[in-house]
């Protein structure tokens, strides 16, 4: 525990430079970014005494040696972890170029009242690069397993989302999705839906219209689960901010004009299929139309869209 003359969680021998923190240490074997291992080891962790006024990078080698962790030291970082009953929760990553004293507030806020440890694991940027490399260079069963795991990876570590979108992760998913079958596309859509729950992920989609274009292009898929999921994500995107309606219109225009088709032809083709009347897909399309139309900022754009829909058989 950190104690300062019997109070807090620092141990202070009256000399600030000799303050120490004795706590449990563990490692997480996440060298394979798609590994299902998500519990720190060992189950009975050893204790380590940190010097709280010494930068963590100078103490990382000692932590690594005691744990005999499989990681490369140059690829390693430290993260807080706590036990909430039977649940393991990971917290803030520690800055290796800072001391524990400098990060005391964050540490105490996360660990207060919990059984906790400091976990050695792979740096975010290294994990993200390994993740993207594996996605781009795998196929068959290995690619399917990796894509299936992607949603859970984003769900488990929100910090990884920031690194993923800043290292061309979305472009990677679109590249794979453009050439993949419907099962792979479903896994990518699930992962994208999880990613869009985070501000960093949604902002990345806002700034990369190719993602919205890909979602709209999937509306003409022959597989209804792909169609439904892509429509749901487009609705989520449209409802997130009024300005996103213009981005959807830009994506629709880009896709349909490149194929020399009327605007929204993907969606209108479904509506014009009589046997689809009343299905969930139809309701999703109508919801998307109404959401976009309700926030179009200017009259000309509004009538461009409604005229195109009416010309393809849409009735008021």
Give residue for tokens 């920031």. 162
Q: Which two tokens stand for residue 303?
A: 């009538």
Measured distance CA(93)–CA(84) in Å, rounded: 18
Quickly tell me which residue has 């309701």 as its tokens.
Answer: 283
Which pair of tokens denotes residue 117?
């440890």
CA distances from 311 to 244, 254, 315 (A): 25, 19, 9
Residues recorded for the chain: 316
Question: What is the value of pTM for the model shown?
Answer: 0.86
Question: Could you identify the residue written with the tokens 């896994």?
Answer: 187
Q: How far is CA 85 from the centre of its chain?
A: 26
CB atoms within 10 A of CB 96: 15
What is the phi/psi pair of residue 260, to 5°?
55, 50
Look at residue 238 and give its three-state secondary structure: helix
Contacts 24+ apart (CB under 8 A), 11-19: 16/53, 17/53, 18/51, 18/53, 19/51, 19/52, 19/53, 19/101
| CA dist 51 → 20, 24, 97, 117, 213 (Å) | 5, 14, 14, 16, 52
Print pLDDT tens along the chain (316 aa). 454 333 345 544 434 455 999 999 999 999 998 886 778 999 999 999 999 999 999 999 999 999 999 999 999 999 999 988 888 999 999 999 999 999 999 999 999 999 999 999 999 999 999 999 999 999 999 999 999 999 999 998 888 999 999 999 999 999 999 887 899 999 999 999 999 999 999 999 999 999 999 999 999 998 999 999 999 999 999 999 999 999 999 999 999 998 889 999 999 988 887 565 558 899 999 999 999 999 988 888 888 888 888 888 776 5
For residue 116, whether the previous peptide bond is cis, meaning omega lies within 30 degrees of 0, is no
Per-residue pLDDT at 304: 86
Q: Would you state the pLDDT for residue 275? A: 64
Number of helical H runs and strand E runs in the chain = 14, 5
Distance, in Å, from the CA atom of 235 to the CA atom of 293, rounded to the nearest integer, reads 12
Distances from the Cα of 274 to the Cαs of 222, 277, 279, 280, 290, in angstroms?
A: 16, 6, 11, 14, 21
Residue with tokens 């524990």: 100
Q: Are strands 87-94 and 47-51 parallel, antiparallel or unpaired?
A: unpaired
Please give the structure tokens belonging to residue 285. Answer: 């399309």
Q: Report whether 52 contacts 10 (CB < 8 A).
A: yes
Going by their DSSP bridges, the two strands 115-122 and 76-84 should be labelled as antiparallel
């Amino acid at each position: 525990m950190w104690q300062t003359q019997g109070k807090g969680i620092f141990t202070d021998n009256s000399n600030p430079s000799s303050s120490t923190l004795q706590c449990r240490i563990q490692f997480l074997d996440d060298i394979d970014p798609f590994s299902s291992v998500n519990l720190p080891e060992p189950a009975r962790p050893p204790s380590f005494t940190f010097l709280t006024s010494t930068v963590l990078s100078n103490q990382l080698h000692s932590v690594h040696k005691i744990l005999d962790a499989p990681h490369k030291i140059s690829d390693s970082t430290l993260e807080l972890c706590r036990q909430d009953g039977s649940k393991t929760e990971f917290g803030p990553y520690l800055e290796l170029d800072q001391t524990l004293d400098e990060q005391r507030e964050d540490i105490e806020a996360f660990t207060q009242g919990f059984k906790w440890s400091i976990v050695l694991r792979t740096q975010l940027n290294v994990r993200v690069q390994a993740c993207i490399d594996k996605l781009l260079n795998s196929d068959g069963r290995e690619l399917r397993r990796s894509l299936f795991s992607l949603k859970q990876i984003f769900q488990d570590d929100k910090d990884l989302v920031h690194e993923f979108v800043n290292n061309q992760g979305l472009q990677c998913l679109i590249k794979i999705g453009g050439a993949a079958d419907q099962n792979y596309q479903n896994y990518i859509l699930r992962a994208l839906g999880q990613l869009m729950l985070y501000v960093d992920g949604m902002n990345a989609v806002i700034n990369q219209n190719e993602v919205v274009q890909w979602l709209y292009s999937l509306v003409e898929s022959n597989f209804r689960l792909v169609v439904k999921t892509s429509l749901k994500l487009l609705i989520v995107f449209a409802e997130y901010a009024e300005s996103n309606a213009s981005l959807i219109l830009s994506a629709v225009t880009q896709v349909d004009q490149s194929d020399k088709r009327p605007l929204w032809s993907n969606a209108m083709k479904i509506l014009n299929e009589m046997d689809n009347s009343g299905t969930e897909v139809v309701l999703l399309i109508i919801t998307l139309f109404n959401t976009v139309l309700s926030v179009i900022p200017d009259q000309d754009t509004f009538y461009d869209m409604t005229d195109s829909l009416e010309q393809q058989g849409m009735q008021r």
